[in-house]
Amino acid sequence: MKKILHIISSPRGAASLSIQLGNAIIKQLIGKYPGSIVHENNLVNEQFPHLEEAQIASFFTPAQSRTPENILAAKHSDDAIDEIREADIIVIGAPVYNFGIPSALKAWIDHIVRSGVTFKYDQNGAAGLINGKKIYIAMASGGIYSDGPMKPFDFVEPYLKHIFSFIGISDITVFRVEGSAIPGVQDTALEKGISSIHLN
């Protein structure tokens, strides 16, 4: 039995390929770990605000000195980090938008990557503070980036792998539905993505 957190960042609901791929990953996870509990965090329905001065000021105020305003400003961040701490496995839906990730997903990342809470700096440099988690990324893209001429322009997989490793989660597997905009590829893209799922 595992606690699974599903992060959704596509606004396309049932038509979304990253959501369908994420759900297929979760289905296999439940098969492997019967009784698993899934908690969904839809970043499109419940948006994380862009970081403003109030949040940054709160993040850099020591916990014992925080005012009620500081506490309120950090609530999105505290809640999101609690969700991550509670999960054993995190499935992250990542549509490719303009060679990057949707701003809703980036806003969430800005709230969970927090100095002194999810990473720290010491004499040896940066160290992640979140341990023992597994991440599956469910990527969806109109083009093909896993191989071929567009491969150098896959900024999403390296970015996501780096940022989660930075906070201590380096056990990361990426599955893709790709080529959904390419005639001759699009019709089988979802099926191919789902059949590529092999849990480790």
Ligand X SMILES: Cc1cc2nc3c(=O)[nH]c(=O)nc-3n(C[C@H](O)[C@H](O)[C@H](O)COP(=O)(O)O)c2cc1C
Among positions 2, 3, 12, 161, the unique one binding ligand X when judged by CB under 6 A = 12
User: Of residues 158-197, which lie at the interface with ligand X (CB under 6 A)?
Assistant: 180
Nearest-approach distance from CB 186 to ligand X, in angstroms: 10
**What tokens does 78 get?**
């505290």
DSSP state of 25: H
Closest to 6 (Cα-Cα) out of 90, 119, 129? 90
Q: How crowded is the C-beta side of 151, counted as CA atoms within 13 Å?
A: 4
Using CB under 6 A, count the residues that bind ligand X. 16
Closest to 94 (Cα-Cα) out of 6, 27, 197? 6
Q: How crowded is the C-beta side of 193, counted as CA atoms within 13 Å?
A: 30
Among positions 140, 160, 172, 194, the unique one binding ligand X when judged by CB under 6 A = 140
Q: How crowded is the C-beta side of 20, counted as CA atoms within 13 Å?
A: 16
Closer of 37 and 150 to ligand X (Cβ): 150
**Alpha-carbon torsion 27, 146, 13, 85, what sign?**
positive
Q: What's the rounded Cα separation, in Å, for the pair 17 and 178?
A: 9
Q: Which stretch binds ligand X (CB under 6 A): 34-42, 103-111, 137-145, 167-175?
A: 137-145
Q: Which stretch binds ligand X (CB under 6 A): 23-31, 118-126, 135-143, 163-171?
A: 135-143
Among positions 141, 167, 172, 194, the unique one binding ligand X when judged by CB under 6 A = 141
Closest to 146 (Cα-Cα) out of 91, 192, 184? 192
Q: Which stretch binds ligand X (CB under 6 A): 12-20, 54-62, 103-111, 159-167?
A: 12-20
Nearest-approach distance from CB 83 to ligand X, in angstroms: 21
Closer of 7 and 167 to ligand X (Cβ): 7
Annotated binding site: 10, 16-18
Interface residues toward ligand X, by CB under 6 A:
10, 12, 16-19, 95-99, 140-143, 180
